[in-house]
Amino acid sequence: MPCLVGVSHYAGWMPGLYKDEGVVLSTIKLGEADRILTIFTRDNGKVRAVAKGVRKTKSRWGGRLEPFTRVDLLVYRGRNLDTITAADIIEAHPGLRTDYVKLTSAAALAELVDKISPDRERSGATYDLLLAGLAAIHDGKGTSVVPAFLVKLLSLSGFHPSLQVCAGCGDTRALEAFSPAMGGVVCLGCWEEDGSAMRLGADRILLMARMLSLDFGSPADEEAVVDVTNSLRRYAEYHIERPLRSLQLLAI
C-alpha cells in the first residue's frame, strides 16, 4: 500500500474505490504507524477507515487527518474497515485547536455525531449541520452552540423531543418538566408519575425550542444554557444508551 497522497495525484483506480468528502471525528492509533479514523462523510455517512503509514510520515500527511479537518477523500471499501487511499484538506479548522473552550466544544460535536449517527447511513442534513456547528464554534458564537447542535441532531436522527406539548398526555398547559423516557417536555401531572423526569422551567423549554428552530449563536442566559445542555444530555444518553463523556467535560 502506498503512503497517503493527495486525491488529485492518485493515479490508480480499482473496483471498491469511492470518492467522498468528510469531517474527521476521531482518530486512534493502530500498530506502529497507522491510525483508524472515524469520519462523517457527505455521501456515505459515518465510516471507519484505516490511514496506513500516517504516523510514520506525520510531518507530510498526518495534518490532513486531524480531528475536525474537512477533507476530500479517496477510500477503498473493505469488509469491516475501509482504507484511506488519498486525502486533501478542504478546511483544516486550526482555530478550533487553539482555545480550550473551542476545542472541547468541537470535540463534543464530534462525539455527538459519532455516537448518535448509525454507520454508513447517508445524511446530507447531518453533514451540513456538522459543518455549520464547527463554523459557529470557530466564529466564537458561544456556549449555546453545543446544546443547539444536540437538539438539532437528535431531531434529524429520529429522536425528536416533544417541545410544544406534553410528551405524556398531549396537554399544552403546565409544561414545567422534561422526561427522557416519555420523550420530551411533560406537564406537572406526568412529571409526578415519572421518577426520572426533571423539573425544567418554561423559559428553559422555550430556549430549547428556539435552539431547535433558529440558527446557531442566538444570545442566551448562561445558567439556562447549562440546564438545557444537561437535560438534553440525559435525554440523548437515555435514547442511545451510551454516555456522552465530552458533554460532561464541557466547562459548564
Interface residues with Zn ion (CB under 5 A)?
A: 166, 168-169, 171, 187, 190
With a CB cutoff of 8 Å and minimum separation 6, the contacts of 181 are 194, 196, 197, 238
Q: Are 81 and 34 in contact (CB under 8 A)?
A: no
What is the helix (H) or strand (E) element at residue 71, kind and residue range? strand 70-76
Pick 7 or 165: Cβ nearer Zn ion: 165
Pick 155 or 162: Cβ nearer Zn ion: 162
What is the Cα–Cα distance from 159 to 83, expressed in whole angstroms? 31
Place of cell 446557531: 216
Intra-chain end-to-end CA distance of the chain, in Å: 45
Pick 73 or 187: Cβ nearer Zn ion: 187
Pick 45 or 183: Cβ nearer Zn ion: 183
What is the Cα–Cα distance from 174 to 202, expressed in whole angstroms? 8
Give me the least distance between CB of 169 and Zn ion, in Å please.
3
Pick 21 or 194: Cβ nearer Zn ion: 194
With a CB cutoff of 8 Å and minimum separation 6, the contacts of 129 are 149, 152, 153, 156
What is the Cα–Cα distance from 186 to 195, expressed in whole angstroms? 12
